[in-house]
Amino acid sequence: MKANYDVLIRAGRVVCPATGFDSAGSVAIRGDRIVAVGTDIFGSSEQVFDDPAIILLPGLIDLHAHPAKSGSIFSIDPDHNLVARGTTTVLSQGDAGAGNLESYIRDTIEQSQTQIILAINLSSAGEAAPGGCFERLELIDVAACVSAIERFRSHIWGIAVNVSHHCCGQTDPREVLRRGLRVAEQTGLPLLYGMRRPEDWPLEEQLRELRPGDVVTYCYRRTPHCIVQDGRVIEAVRTARERGILFDVGHGRGSFDFSTAEAALRNGFAPDTISTDLQRGHIGQLPIHDLPLVMSKLRAVGMLERDIFQAVTSRPAQILGMDQEIGSLRVGSRADLVLLRWNEQSQPLVDVHGDVRSGGRWETAATIRGGKLIVATECS
Domain ranges of the chain: 5-58+331-375, 60-319
- Please state at what angle helix 258-266 crosses helix 291-300, rounded to 10 degrees: 60
In whole angstroms, give the CA distance from residue 176 to residue 137. Answer: 8
**What pLDDT sits at residue 42?**
87
Q: pLDDT, tens digit, for every residue of 339-370?
A: 999 999 888 999 999 999 988 999 999 999 99
- pLDDT classification of 380: cutoffs 50, 70, 90: very low
In whole angstroms, give the CA distance from residue 34 to residue 37. Answer: 8
Q: Is the pTM of this model over 0.85?
A: yes
CATH homologous superfamily of 60-319 equals Metal-dependent hydrolases (3.20.20.140)
Rounded to 5 degrees, what are φ and ψ at 104? Answer: -65, -45
**What pLDDT sits at residue 347?**
87
The answer to whether residue 318 scores a pLDDT higher than 60 is: yes
Torsion over CA: 351, 304, 20, 320 (sign): negative
Q: pLDDT, tens digit, for every residue of 264-273?
A: 999 999 999 9
* Of the candidates 187, 216, 200, 209, the residue with the CA atom closest to the CA atom of residue 93: 216
* Of the candidates 33, 34, 334, the residue with the CA atom closest to the CA atom of residue 25: 34
Reply yes or no on domain 5-58+331-375 having CATH 1.10.1740.10.
Answer: no
**What pLDDT sits at residue 378?**
54
The whole-number average pLDDT for the span 90-101 is 97
**What pLDDT sits at residue 286?**
87
Q: Which of 1-10, 130-139, 329-338 has the highest mean pLDDT?
A: 329-338
CB 228 within 8 A of CB 252: no
Torsion over CA: 110, 59, 296, 258 (sign): positive
In whole angstroms, give the CA distance from residue 239 to residue 229. Answer: 15
**What pLDDT sits at residue 2?**
65
Q: pLDDT, tens digit, for every residue of 64-73?
A: 999 999 999 9
Kindly provide the residue ranges of all beta strands, DSSP E only, lying in 297-380, ordered along the sequence: 337-343, 349-350, 356-357, 361-369, 372-375
In whole angstroms, give the CA distance from residue 84 to residue 19. Answer: 26
Q: How, if at all, do strands 21-30 and 232-233 pair?
A: unpaired
**What pLDDT sits at residue 99?**
96
Instruction: Dump the DSSP string for 119-141.
Output: EEESSTTTT-SSS-TTSSGGG--
Give the percent of the chain with pLDDT over 70: 98
Q: Average model confidence (pLDDT) for the chain?
A: 95
* Of the candidates 171, 151, 147, 150, the residue with the CA atom closest to the CA atom of residue 161: 171
The answer to whether residue 194 scores a pLDDT higher than 50 is: yes
The answer to whether residue 376 scores a pLDDT higher than 80 is: no
Q: pLDDT, tens digit, for every residue of 209-251?
A: 999 999 999 999 999 999 999 999 999 999 999 999 999 999 9
61 or 131, which is more confident: 61
The whole-number average pLDDT for the span 12-17 is 98
Give the percent of the chain with pLDDT over 90: 93
- pLDDT classification of 259: cutoffs 50, 70, 90: very high
CA distances from 280 to 92, 289, 301, 317, 380 (A): 13, 11, 26, 25, 10
